[in-house]
Structure 1
């Protein structure tokens, strides 16, 4: 495997688990980092499957996996954002920053000091709701570091309900009544139960499965404060990035 000019840091979890917020915060922390959104790889709405009489945006069939791989390959080989990708996701708002300015300043200073002592490739932060299940196996070789964020059903429903909608290829999408309860959460449970003990996605993560698949997660319960999540993610990346790259990906213990 040739040397990679950028490292792909995947951040995944249920819709409204804080993926995009964390991705943008990390982008601003690490030098020359950029974000790639899995939501920019949706197929045209007319091609999406239906579930419960509604368009299902929250399944693997709604995404163009070949286009994802094409973009990730470009990032590894060229170290730049794919010039052939027109991002719509950055037009979507994520609300006020949940991290205090003092925490951001402190962590930025920490990363700046760290980066002055380490030479690592450029970082691409890949934000997506469905990156680690078996249905996305073709994507796995293109993900260098895998971070998983947890949330509870109550918090996911509340956060999603607070959103005004989403910019899409065709225009703008608003969740129809019952969409989160009937599609978003059940799909998340179906696709991620493999990662949890007894398949309980609001319970304890199966450490052996996470280790086997190289998935990093924050110790403790779901819905940790974003200030704590950001601090954990920054420290985790500073520990892992020097060991990733070169002739491939070097596994790092949690």
Structure 2
């Protein structure tokens, strides 16, 4: 796969669709994997735009897209977490894991068997976290989670071409609102942010709908996905499964999808 040291997996979707939970699960299942968060590229609060009289954290203008692109390029070239990124996202709690330990253990066994000599996944990924850059021919995997990865602004900024696999998670407006309102808040560069009342209805959901309308038939983000657009953009989603799919189901789908995609990238399919 070219002269590089890592493959990068994008996980995108609405706020509270399960992106960070899934990213951390995949990190635990695929050896040598690390996580990068779109939220680590927020601009300072003083540079954020406003909407409805509130700071707008959920738009492309709030993200330093050139810096994120720089980080992704570093990962591809060096196979390591960018030393110039100060991650705040992993300081945020996402609550109890909704996937049982037994399902995680089974997924780990499946991936381990897939990587054995003679199996399709052998010789693609590093088997453990290295103390230095990956050796030739063995790759690390980076999982990037973010709420706007496939938006027109990210496309213009050159982000999607740096993603080797693109996963999209779906969630209903009701479920997203419920999950987001349960959160205590978010660690930021300046300290801590707590959503003001009505923030999801005024900012979060309208921004998500506007950025993702083209991925759905008739622009309805709670309707059916447009499979033609997904194929054109190289995005994989659980088409026909509904919006609020159980995380255990999503997790198993993501593991299978990534093993298949890694085989494709390695020329084994």
Fold shared by both chains (TM-score > 0.5): yes
SS where residue 223 of structure 1 aligns? Answer: coil
2: CA distance between counterparts of 1:134 and 1:119?
Answer: 35
Paired with 1:218 and 1:119, the residues of 2 have a C-alpha distance of 28
Check if 1:144 corresponds to 2:164.
yes
1:123 pairs with 2:160 = no
Unaligned runs of 5+ in 1: none
Say yes or no: does 1:239 pair with 2:260. Answer: yes
Matches within 5 A, 1:94-173: 94-116=94-116, 117=119, 118-120=122-124, 121-137=139-155, 138-173=158-193
Q: Distance in 2 between matches of 1:82 and 1:221?
A: 36
Q: 1:35-114 residue pairs with structure 2 within 5 A?
A: 35-114=35-114
Q: In 2, are the aligned partners of 1:3 and 1:245 still within 8 Å (CA)?
A: no
Cα offset, 1:3, TM superposition = 1.8
Q: CA distance change for structure 1 residues 86 and 144 in 2, over 3 Å: closer, same or farther?
A: same
Instruction: Summarize the alignment of residues 157-196 of structure 1 with structure 2, pairs less than 5 Å apart.
Output: 157-196=177-216
The residue that corresponds to 1:213 in the other structure is 233
Match of 2:127 in 1: none
Aligned to 2:133: none
TM-score of the two chains, using structure 2 as the length reference: 0.90
Shift of residue 2 of structure 1?
Answer: 4.1
- Secondary structure class of the residue paired with 2:167: strand
Aligned pairs, how many? 248
For the residues of structure 1 that align with 2:186 and 2:266, how far apart are their CA atoms? Answer: 35
Tell me if 1:228 matches 2:249: yes
Please list every run of at least 4 consecutive aligned residues from structure 1 whose deviation after the TM superposition is greater than 3 angstroms: none
Deviation at 1:187, TM superposition (A): 0.3
- Greater Cα offset, 131-140 or 147-156: 131-140
The structural deviation recorded for 1:71 is 0.4
Residue 110 of structure 1: how far off its partner (Å): 0.4
Counterparts of 1:40 and 1:24 in 2: how far apart (Å)?
15
Displacement, 1:128?
A: 0.4
Q: Once the 2 structures are TM-superposed, how far is the Cα of residue 243 of structure 1 from its aligned partner?
A: 2.0
Say yes or no: does 1:204 pair with 2:220: no
1:9 counterpart SS class: strand
Gaps of 5+ in 2: 125-138
Aligned partner of 2:134 in structure 1 is none
Query: Counterparts of 1:231 and 1:155 in 2: how far apart (Å)?
Result: 21
